[in-house]
Amino acid sequence: MRAGRNPRGYSRWMARPREFDVDQALDRATEVFWARGYEATSVQDLVDALGVNRASLYATFGDKEQLFGAVLERYGQQVNGAVFHALAPPASGAGAVRAWFTALIAAATQPGGPRGCLMINTLAGSSTAPSALYDKVIAGVRASTDRLQEALARDPAIAARENVRTLARFLAAEGHGLAVLARAGVRRQELEMAAEVALRVLE
């Protein structure tokens, strides 16, 4: 190995100014992973989508696993942040859940973009993703139940029921199911009708 060279071989690139926007690159990587899935996405797919060379990609994001981890983090901040906003205080009860369904369906059926939910798609379609990534995905999915339960409990009539946690699990499962149906191409109007049926358990 030549003297002064970085053991990973990236020293001469890391010293250069970054020639691309990191946030924009993460958005493009998100689209690729969302559309193709973790397993089916190759490093070359990412290089092509981001418009950078491999050395720049590795120097900035690390390997494919690390890049996907960064994508999940950004996805959680953007898409899940917007969806979970519907469940934030003071929203409560059926109104909060309806708003959550509406935001979820909108995110899962965005025009011109990947359909479904990146996290649900990863759980359903990947068998070899590293366990650390699965842990992040599962934590994000489980957060739906927790936040639904909190929103339901803010409605005194629903909070008086003995099965609030069970209701939250049911509604979370319905929401995740809607994301899967969106991935399969079900129309937005049909998803909204299905959500209204699920809401009847709160009547």
| pTM reported for the whole predicted model | 0.77
- Provide the number of structural domains found in the chain: 1
Is 174 part of a structural domain of the chain?
yes
Is 31 part of a structural domain of the chain?
no
Between the ranges 23-32, 80-89, 146-155, where is the mean pLDDT highest? 146-155
Is residue 24 a contact partner of residue 31, using CB atoms and an 8 Å limit? no
Is 187 part of a structural domain of the chain?
yes
Query: Which residue, 136, 191, 140, 195, is CA-closest to 170?
Result: 195
4 pLDDT above the threshold of 80: no
Q: What is the CATH number of the domain that holds 127?
A: 1.10.357.10
Quick one: pLDDT at residue 127?
64
Is 12 part of a structural domain of the chain?
no
Mean pLDDT of 43-48: 93
Is 14 part of a structural domain of the chain?
no
Mean pLDDT of 162-177: 94
Task: Collect all residues with Cβ–Cβ distance below 8 Å to 18 and sequence separation of at least 6.
Answer: 56, 60
Cα distance between residue 118 and residue 83, in whole Å: 13
Is residue 108 a contact partner of residue 116, using CB atoms and an 8 Å limit? yes
| Euclidean distance between the first and the last CA atom of the chain, given in angstroms as a whole number | 71
Question: pLDDT tens across 5-35, in order?
Answer: 443 443 333 444 456 788 899 989 998 998 8
Is 7 part of a structural domain of the chain?
no
Is 151 part of a structural domain of the chain?
yes
Mean pLDDT of 127-143: 77
Which structural domain, as residue segments, surrounds residue 167?
69-202
Is 57 part of a structural domain of the chain?
no
Quick one: pLDDT at residue 188?
95
**DSSP-assigned letters across all residues of 80-136:** IHHHHHTTSTT--HHHHHHHHHHHHHHHHT-TTS--S-HHHHHHHH-SSS-HHHHHH
Mean pLDDT rounded to a whole number for the chain: 85
172 pLDDT above the threshold of 60: yes
Phi, psi torsion values for 96, nearest 5 degrees: -65, -40
